[in-house]
Structure 1
Amino acid sequence: MQKIIFIGAGSMAEALIHGWIKKNVISPHALFISNRSNKERLNELVESYDVNLLEDHTHLRDADLVILAMKPKDARAAMEVIAPHLSADTAILSVLAGVSIDTIEQHLGSRPIARVMPNTSATIGMSASGIAFNNHVTDVKRALYIQMLEAIGIVIEVEEEKLHAVTALSGSGPAYLYYLVEAFERAGAEFGLSKEIVRELMVQTIAGSAEMLKSGNLEPSLLRKKVTSPGGTTEAGIKALESMSFNEAIVNCVRSAENRSRELALEE
Structure 2
Amino acid sequence: MNKQTILFLGAGRMAEAIISGLLARKQDHLEEIIVTNRSNAERLQELRGKYGVTATHDWKAQVAKADTIVLAMKPGQVRESLLELGPLVDGQFVFTVAAGIGTGLMEEHLPAGTPVAWVMPNTAAKVGASVSLYTYGKEVKAAHKEVLEMILDGIGIYEECTEEQIHQLTAVTGSAPAFLYRFAEVLETAAKEFGVSEEQARRMIVGMVYGSALMLKDGPAPAVLRDQVTTPGGATAAGLRVMEEREFPALMKEAVAATNLRAKEMAKE
Q: TM-score, normalised by structure 2?
A: 0.93
Equivalent residue runs for 1:8-157 within 5 Å = 8-25=10-27, 30-54=32-56, 55=58, 57-87=60-90, 89-110=91-112, 111-157=114-160
For residues 94-114 of structure 1, give each alpha carbon's deviation from its aligned partner in whole angstroms, at most 9, with x where no partner exists.
101112211111211231101
Equivalent residue runs for 1:188-199 within 5 Å = 188-199=191-202
Q: Tell me the amino acid that sits aligned with residue 197 of structure 1.
A: Q
Q: Tell me the amino acid that sits aligned with residue 176 of structure 2.
A: G
Please give the alpha-carbon distance, in whole angstroms, between the structure 2 residues aligned to 1:235 and 1:136.
53
Report the counterpart of residue 222 of structure 1 in structure 2.
224
Deviation at 1:56, TM superposition (A): 5.0
Q: Is 1:167 equivalent to 2:174 in the alignment?
A: no
Please give the alpha-carbon distance, in whole angstroms, between the structure 2 residues aligned to 1:265 and 1:56.
23
What SS is found at the alignment partner of 1:98? coil
Q: What is the RMSD computed on CA atoms of the aligned residues?
A: 1.6
Deviation at 1:141, TM superposition (A): 1.8
CA contact (8 A) 1:19 1:124 kept: yes
Q: Residue 182 and residue 56 in structure 1: after superposition, are their counterparts in 2 closer, same or farther (change >3 A)?
A: closer
Report the counterpart of residue 161 of structure 2 in structure 1.
158
Deviation at 1:57, TM superposition (A): 1.2
CA contact (8 A) 1:7 1:70 kept: yes
Report the counterpart of residue 248 of structure 1 in structure 2.
250
CA contact (8 A) 1:101 1:113 kept: yes
Please give the alpha-carbon distance, in whole angstroms, between the structure 2 residues aligned to 1:141 and 1:201.
44
Aligned residues: 265
4+ runs deviating over 6 angstroms: none
What SS is found at the alignment partner of 2:4? coil
What SS is found at the alignment partner of 1:3? strand
Please give the alpha-carbon distance, in whole angstroms, between the structure 1 residues aligned to 2:218 and 2:76.
40
Alignment gaps of 5+ in structure 2: none
CA contact (8 A) 1:118 1:170 kept: yes
Q: TM-score, normalised by structure 1?
A: 0.94
What SS is found at the alignment partner of 1:172? helix
CA contact (8 A) 2:26 2:150 kept: no
Fraction of identical pairs, as percent: 38
Q: Tell me the amino acid that sits aligned with residue 120 of structure 2.
A: M
